[in-house]
A = this chain, B = another copy of it.
Amino acid sequence: MRRPRISRHDSQSVPRVVILGGGFGGLYAARALRTAPVAVTVIDRTNHHLFQPLLYQVATAVLAPTDITSPIRHLLRKQRNTDVLMAEVHAIDSSERVVVTEDGRKIAYDYLIVATGTRHSYFGHDPWERNAPGLKSIDDAREIRRRFLLAFERAEASQDEDEQRALLTFVIVGGGPTGVELAGIMPEITRRAIAKDFRHIDTRAARVILVEAGPRVLATYPEALSARAQHDLEALGVEVRTNTLVTNIEPDAVFLGAERIATRTVVWAAGNVASPLSRSLGVPLDRAGRVLVEPDLSVPGHPEVFVVGDLAVPPPQSNGKPVPGVAQGAMQGGRQAATNIRKKLAGQPTEPFRYRNKGDLATIGRHKAVGDLGFVRITGRTAWWFWLLLHIMYLAGFRNRLSVLVEWGYAYFTYQRGSRLLSKESPAART
């Protein structure tokens, strides 16, 4: 049953590189080691790479979960020096140079790349999570989709106008790209896609409220683009509340200071906290638990351990700015860690990580987007088409690309949402 190959079980001859996480950081690191004289093992708790930038479209039933996921082992199937293990890693023992899985198994490494990312942070208000799920994993997206679709079903069944109004009020906390894109797509759905499907409610009267604690949405973008994004959102009917703090979230309401907004559907897109694995490294972390790495992305005192993506805080770049927690940052970090492992194997000094900003881009609804490509800023339809092209290009796996194009085409021309699937599942049954 076994086919002898270079593998984690039997390779003693070549250095073992273990990569934790099959997201953008881990996947691009593994790919960059394709021709290296090493045995690579990618470990992820799920079987799939997730195209996170489109997760908000799964949460709003535009795309299906399988459209933006691809099995990691399928993506790496042609890379003969690499194997993939689906397992939950509980700890890193950097003195023994092993990672320990949930079921107590130890996997040895010579080099380690940690790319396990972040989870949403509730800034000390963990009980809010139940009422305001975040959007990081495909299960998160399914849960938000369930709540979003169920709100309309319950409103249709309700005979109480106040309850209907609360059910048709959607609050998104956090005005970063996720919050903005989620808020921008919702009016399209409530006003167009589903309006004719209901008899007792007018879905076009639904409210979408975007709450941002800071002075503007898309805080990391140039100010002019933030203003344009807010303008475009408001034109779609989204209520944008900047400089507004959420003070409490209950099952049937969000509190903004003294103001109470009756709602049953809140999405949390506000903060990130490191995956708990970072603590087991025993190195300096920032307040969010992220690892303060060396310029070459290695961990202080452990030049054989690299941290990339969201989980890493490299020193500020030459322009004085931090590396943003976006897909590009993770991809480039993953490649840099791989390069530095190759340098070490060749006896050469490692290189510092230099983030090349290829631009920021966020869609707003059906036809608009704002983008800062460094050399030029784009808005409106141009930016939207550019966004479309770019995302199709980067989508991992041909089948997903084609399928997403079909679904987008369908949604675009018919205003219909393709993936409005709701099961008879109790909320408690979903974790």
Contact = CB atoms under 8 A, between A and B. Distances in A.
Interface of A: 1-3, 5, 7, 9, 45-48, 64-67, 69, 71, 73-74, 77-78, 83-88, 137-139, 149-150, 153, 156-157, 159, 161, 164-165, 168, 194, 196-202, 205, 398-400, 402-403, 406-407, 410, 414, 416, 418-426, 429-431
A87 B425 contact: no
A217 B64 CA distance: 35
A398 B29 CA distance: 41
B139 A422 contact: no
B422 A83 contact: no
Contacts of A47: 149, 153, 420-422
B71 A199 contact: no
Contacts of A86: 150, 153, 156-157, 422
Nearest to A83: B199
A418 B403 contact: yes
A431 B196 CA distance: 32
A69 B429 CA distance: 21
A1 B46 contact: no
Nearest to A199: B83
Contacts of A403: 403, 406-407, 410, 418
B421 A77 contact: no
Given A46-B423, A73-B197, A425-B431, A157 B87 contact: yes
Given A197-B71, A410-B399, A48 B138 contact: no
* Copies of this chain, whole number: 2
A55 to B, nearest CB: 13
Given A86-B153, A399-B416, A418-B399, A201 B423 contact: no
Nearest to A411: B399
Nearest to A78: B196
Given A9-B200, A399-B410, A403-B406, 11 more contacts: A2-B161, A3-B200, A47-B149, A71-B422, A73-B197, A74-B420, A83-B156, A83-B199, A85-B157, A137-B424, A402-B406
A69 B145 CA distance: 15
A71 B71 CA distance: 28
Given A425-B139, A429-B431, A418 B46 contact: no
Contacts of A418: 66, 399-400, 403
Contacts of A164: 1
Contacts of A78: 196
A83 B201 CA distance: 12
A36 B400 CA distance: 44
B429 A200 contact: no
Contacts of A83: 156, 199-200
27 contacts: A1-B168, A2-B200, A2-B201, A5-B199, A46-B423, A47-B421, A48-B420, A64-B67, A65-B421, A66-B421, A74-B416, A77-B196, A77-B197, A83-B156, A83-B199, A83-B200, A86-B153, A86-B156, A138-B423, A139-B423, A139-B425, A399-B410, A399-B418, A402-B406, A403-B410, A403-B418, A426-B431
A422 B49 CA distance: 10
Instruction: Name which of A199, A426, A429 has the most chain B CB atoms within 10 A of its CB.
Output: A199
